Structure 1
């Protein structure tokens, strides 16, 4: 194991997120991701030393652990591209995994969850059963979702390590309420677009503004987060 990988794993461990109970905020974020991008599968995954563990998931089991070889998320955190996209895995058999074949996954897109110190500890990823491109503006919004996951993780870590469990619960509930309200607006906007794929740019911009409002709630509750 390299020094960099040891440091990455230590950073992941510092968030005390592995094998934690499901939390509505993270569940809602993957639900929103699946809805925005009109995909059957969306997940928040953390890449540990020997396996990848899924904190939240739509379309596949949450709390699922897969070996490093079973998932594409291990590639997403080391890829040169900011967002790793496989538009059609059936056309790239060398890039496929046994799990993807077993679950009939053809489309995959994963963006790293990057800590403030620059370590890639996991991914927010999308998957589907049909070939699919992910446009550059869509990739930008997926990255914004990963940044929001990271902001929630940082708030969670800082408050819980200071024994401020009630403060984290209150902040999480406020963020959940804000996200719930924004999801209602997103559903309205998506209905107007009739579920177009790729997501129209004129829809991505207002969604991005609403995600920024959720981020502001988390930042306001924890001033030390930049």
Structure 2
């Protein structure tokens, strides 16, 4: 409600409050972190004031009427600019506007430039008016929520991938989304108020479906809108494939589902008929196959049923490169793949799968397999598990060959270990920090110079904040800006700067060299 336009419905309350209390000023205020803003104001030009000088802040801190008979005599307000300057407040009475969940959001207040007091009837009137104002706020907020919900529902309808047609309880079309217009070739105006079944459903198809339902349900179903609603009335929600009719007479293959629309009193208000374009689905499946063929690995769906059985509903052609098998060899069981897993990795593999299945968290596992042509290779498997309605778990994932990456990582690990050993063997002290100046590395020499053993952690502070660093004379402390490490952080290249490290009264004179290191992003 903050910063919304003036409304006569709220102005009526401020005029009424001013009239009842016989004051020249009346306000409806809402208070946020920094200000009090006036939804309605009578007798005051400004539409807000800072919260720190507002009287209403005191009102919302309490639970009832807050009244100041003479602000000039009240130590809390006698120096307040609203008292000493315009509008020269002397009298103030405010009633909090309390939300249904107990929060004070603002006030209804009356103000006078003369000291005074309200009588009992005026105080009672302010309390009653404040409750009515809060009800009006709630009505506005509820209307706003309904409007937002309606806009959201319309946006969902307009952007749905399926054709969506809303009907009356009798089956007459009342709304059509853009997807339905494109799918069937009609504009919304052509379909509104027409029976859905006669507009889009071929009569022969309706008759066949009516006969099937009549036999299945044991009652006569007429070949009209009842064909779509009869399963719902029997407590069944089904999806059925139909060949509907395009405006140009061609058949449109769709998957149709029907949902009832009820109001808050559970009265039937109509139906939503959803028609998913099966021709579009076939095109998507073809595109998926084309995309999957370009993925360097195996895309898969893996289903794990409650009874322990497993299968692969989908496997891309990449299975041959990863496992040397055809998709048909793996459709019904995980057995052929499991047999290829290195014996040392099998137990960990099953444990990781079971853990991800129990927690429904993303699964990631690297392991070795014995490929029939390539020999021992490394693969990385990633998948996301989803629990299905029948309790099964369906995994969507990707398996890739990471043998080269593993070899590169092993070589990198060797190089890093060699670098670490060289670093520790240096007689010079090597110190590093992060981009904020906090220490990240002391080699053995640096630890010895600073009195740290190999097991001790580096202090979280910056170098100069924790250790005693001095200039070359060993007496003058180095300021943080003069420390070579900090100078390097500013981009300087430091060469042979003399400084002194003091440990337990013993001075060590050193030459310092420092260079900045940059990340890939230039920081």
Question: Are the counterparts in 2 of residues 123 and 146 from structure 1 also a CA contact under 8 Å?
Answer: yes
Question: What's the counterpart of residue 163 of structure 1?
Answer: 147
**Unaligned residue ranges in structure 1 (runs of 5+):** 1-16, 166-226
- Please identify, of 88-97 and 140-149, the stretch whose mean Cα deviation from structure 2 is larger: 88-97
For residues 127 and 45 of structure 2, the distance between their equivalents in structure 1, rounded to whole angstroms, comes to 23
2:70 to 78, 84, 88: 88
Q: Does 1:67 align with 2:50?
A: yes
Secondary structure class of the residue paired with 1:60: coil
RMSD value, Cα: 1.9
Alpha-carbon contact 1:52-1:65 (below 8 Å) kept: yes
Counterparts of 2:62 and 2:48 in 1: how far apart (Å)?
21
Specify which of 3, 10, 16 is matched with residue 32 of structure 1. Answer: 16
> Does structure 2 retain, via aligned residues, the 8 Å contact 1:43–1:57?
yes
CA offset at residue 164 of structure 1? Answer: 8.4
The answer on 1:133 being equivalent to 2:126 is no
For residue 108 of structure 1, what is the aligned residue in structure 2?
92
What does residue range 145-224 of structure 1 map to in structure 2 within 5 Å? 145-163=129-147
Q: Is the 8 A contact 2:37 2:48 kept in 1?
A: yes
Does 2:103 match 1:119?
A: yes
SS of the equivalent of 2:111 reads strand
Distance 1:164 1:32, change over 3 A: farther
1:83: how far off?
A: 0.3
Encode CA deviations 1:70-125: one digit per residue, 9 max, x unaligned: 21000000036x10000111121433421222121100000100011110000000
Structure 2 match to 1:78 = 61
Helix, strand or coil at the partner of 1:79: coil
Contact 1:71 1:100 in 2 (8 A): no
How high is the TM-score relative to the length of structure 2? 0.27
Measured in 2, the distance between the counterparts of 1:134 and 1:40 equals 14
- Moved runs in structure 1, 4+ residues, more than 6 A? none
Between 1 and 2, higher relative CO (CA 8 Å, sep ≥ 6) is seen in 1
State the match for 2:409 in structure 1.
Answer: none
Kindly indicate whether the alpha-carbon contact (under 8 Å) linking 2:34 and 2:52 is maintained by their aligned counterparts in 1.
Answer: no
SS in 2 for 1:55: strand
Which has the larger strand fraction? 2
In the TM superposition, residue 40 of structure 1 has moved relative to its aligned partner by: 0.4
Greater per-residue helix proportion = 1
